[in-house]
Structures are given as structure tokens and as C-alpha cells.
Amino acid sequence: MAKPKAPRRPRAETPKGFRDYFGAELRARQRMLAQIGEVYHAYGFEPLETSAVETLDALGKYLPDVDRPNAGVFAWQEEGDWLALRYDLTAPLARVAAQYRNDLPSPYRRFAMGPVWRNEKPGPGRFRQFYQCDADTVGAASVAADAEICAMLVDVFAVLGLGDACLVRVNNRKVLNGVMEAAGILDPTDPDRFAEERGIVLRAIDKLDRLGEDGVRALLGAGRKDESGDFTKGAGLGQAQADIVLAFTNARRDSGAATAAALRDLVKGSKIGLEGVDELEEIASLLDAQGYGPERIVIDPSVVRGLGYYTGPVYEAELTFEILDEKGRKRQFGSVAGGGRYDDLVKRFTGQAVPATGVSIGVDRLLAALAAKGQAGAAEPGPVVVTVMDRARMADYFAMVGELRNNGIRAEAYLGNPKNFGNQLKYADKRGSPIAIIEGADEAARGVVQIKDLLLGAQIAEQASHEEWKAQPAQREVKRADLVAAVREILAVQKAGGQG
């Protein structure tokens, strides 16, 4: 009789398109989000946390870069209802605004931070789960709300130390609708006509920075095959139609007034297009009154945003400093935030028009930018480690740890096998610990402890002679009652010397 096969062990690996985050990354994220949250709070926005799971109906069919309703989400059926992980933080806000409309103030100003999930093809730096940080105003029809979001973005990057490298680019989807009308792919009497073509055009223009004009022209026409061989269907526009769309993306001039004039010429004859130009001029005027000049915020027709729910002003924040790409070529860091007005999203639930506008910051992208600029913050030192020389005296070691913590010092007792003391020091090294506390039977009998400065010890090991190292200048003996004071003194010296 054949011996039954042992059950297959699961592979210890993250699913494709997902990643794990560890201590230093998470702490850097928490610090950055706390700074952003302070700016949002100063502007009068309130925090909101929604469920990670929504009904598929509530999420709708607005995921970018997909052609089929509900494609691109992680969804499952439960008791006849379809549920899905949220793909952004805006669709859940629309549901909240409708569900609690009688309880919330109007306008309602909220910010939200959390993970979102997209069932898309992963690639370098493109994950299926990522963090977003949003701020939105629901219930304000005035484009003053859009101007405020743009100003707030500038202030966020200033607080993070990226103010000199930040540029917010603003456009208006109404202007683009006027251009599409001029190109013959928008019929004001039949809004649903050419809807598929317009969606492809939007997504194509949104890729202008990445694909260049030739790549966008291919998507406006028959379609484009990428480096992997995947083919993306095009909008099927003729050359003259594509020329009109590309003229729109190239309409930026040296000043906002000149850009607006160029846009007016492109959309002449289109009521909605001219309305969009008027709104852009009003936004520019409001921002100028607050001191946000064109060196920080500019009108740029190449900004369209891929999501289909945008109805008016749209904006992106990009970082202009240079980095090297994977092939060693210089390029600008690029976009780290984007948003716009979506006046029809809440209407899906209520049947009544509810104006709304907001922005989403790509948290991972922004963290990468801070790291590239050397502004992610100094690495936080690990905890003081109290080593264990005698298991029977664990209560004494825990008393030391408690005493350190009660005095504001991060600390832990070693909880592994204490038999090999060298392994305890290796553990402390892996934890990035600044100090190790040692108390064996001899020290306990004499009422003292040994304090080992691990950072100084590492320096001495690199630079000193064997005899100097054996003298152990990085380790000293203090009275047990002086433990906290001695640890504080060493930590202060480390901090002053840039070691901790």
C-alpha cells in the first residue's frame, strides 16, 4: 500500500502585487501622516474612517484604466449581495454623505487615511494594495472649495520640507468636454453617445507624462501595444480629431491668462467649455489673492485625471526634483497627489445633485519622495535591552524594564533562550538597540548593573586596537539605583553625537 503523501506546505511568500511593511517604514508613514493630518485639521477638516468593504453598487464602475463595470476590484458574493474591497476613499465618502446627509453639516469637510485595493496588473512600484490620504469638501458648489484644496496641498508639502520642489497643476474637465465637442466625440443632446471613446481619451491623456505624445496619439487612434506585448484598445479617432485633443494638452502658455486665452480659442462655440475656462480664471484669482503664485500653482491643460467621475476642476501635485530611473536616466520625480470636482457622485445615491471636490495623496509615493530627498526622518533607535543572566530572576529584570518605561525610556527584557549571552547581544544589534543592561548574580549581590553603550561599542570595534577594545570603554558599572539616570545620560550623548 502506497504511503500517503504528506500535506504540501504553503509557500511563505506575499501574493503577487502585494507587499509587507516593517517597523521603520511604518513609523515613517505614521510621522508623515501625522504632519499631513495637522494641516488638514488647521483647514477645518474632520477625520473619518469608513469600512474597508463596500457593496459593489456603492463603489460603482469608476475604477480607472478598465473598460468593464466592476472590473479591477476584489469582489465576492455573500447571501446574494456582491461586496468588494474599496478601491479608493472617495466612493465610500459619497456613500457616507448620502447615508448621513441629515446628520452631517453642509458643507461637510473630512479627511481620511487608509489602505485601498485594486485588482489590477502589478508592476514595478505598482501594487494591488496601497495607502491613500484624502481630503474632501461635500456640499460646496463654489470653485473656492477647489482653490482651497490646491492651497492646502501646497501647505502640506511645505510642512513636509518639499515646498520648493512642489508644483500643483490645475485644469478643468469642462474645458476638456468643450474640446471633445469640437473634436466630434461629445454630443450635448446625447451625453451617452461616444461615452466609451471619451473614456479612452481621458485615460490616454492621463498617461501623457509616462507615454509621451506618440504613445498618447496611438491610444487616441487604433491602440497601443506595450513592452510586454499587451495591447490597449484605442479611441479610434481620426488624425484631425487627435490633433484637436493634443492641441488642448499643449495649450499651456507662460502665464495663466495666456493659457486661458488659448483654451478659449479651442472651445469657442462650446458653452460648457467656456464655463470651464471661467472657473479656471476664478481659481487663479482666488489663489493669487492668498499669495499662491504661478511658481506654486499653474493652469495646465495636460492634467485630466483618469477617473470618469470628475465633472469640473482637476488638479495634480508633482515634485519637480530629479531622480535616476531604473536605467540610470535623470527624470523628475513626478505626481504624488491628485483630485478634482465630482458633483455627480453623491447623486447616484440621492437622486439630487450634491457638489463635492477633493484630493488624494499617494502615501507610498510621497514616502519615496521624502526618502529620495533625505527628509524621511532619522531612523528611530531600538529599545534598551535588559539581558537575562538568570531565568529565576526574571521578575528583577522586568522591574528594571518597568522602571525605564515609567521614565519615558523605550525598553524590553530579552525573551529568547538566555543560555547564550552572545545571542542576546546579537538580538540587541538586530533591534538597533542603543544600550544593553547586564546584571548577573555578582552584580545583583553588589547592588550594581553593567550598562553597555552598543553604539559606542560598534564604533570602537571598527577603529580601536584589540587591547583598547578589551578594555571595554563602552561598558560601565553603576549603582542599581542610578540605572535610569545613567541610561538617560548615555542616550543624551548618543543623540547629541548623531548616533541615536
Q: How far apart are the first and last CA of the chain?
A: 64
Whether 304 and 171 have beta carbons less than 8 Å apart is answered as yes
Residue 485: the pLDDT is: 96
Mean pLDDT, the chain, rounded, equals 88
Residue 442: the pLDDT is: 94
- Helix, strand or coil, per DSSP, at residue 132: strand
- Helix, strand or coil, per DSSP, at residue 81: strand
Domain with CATH 3.40.50.800 in the chain: 384-496
What residues contact residue 412 under an 8 Å CB cut-off, 6+ apart?
383, 384, 385, 386, 401
Q: Which CATH architecture has domain 384-496?
A: 3-Layer(aba) Sandwich (3.40)
| φ, ψ of residue 82 in degrees (nearest 5) | -95, 125
Residue 468: the pLDDT is: 55
**Lookup result for grid cell 529584570:** 397
In the CATH hierarchy, which fold is given to the domain comprising 23-372? BirA Bifunctional Protein; domain 2 (3.30.930)
Tens-place pLDDT, residues 135-172: 999 999 999 999 999 999 999 999 999 989 999 999 99
Strands (E), 87-240: 108-117, 129-138, 166-172, 223-225, 231-233
**Lookup result for grid cell 445615491:** 349
According to DSSP, the residues that pair with 117 across neighbouring strands are 129
CB count, 10 Å around CB of 409?
A: 17
Angle subtended at Cα 340 by Cα 125 and Cα 109, rounded to the nearest 5 degrees = 105
Residue 469: the pLDDT is: 46
Which residues of the chain fall below pLDDT 50?
69, 469
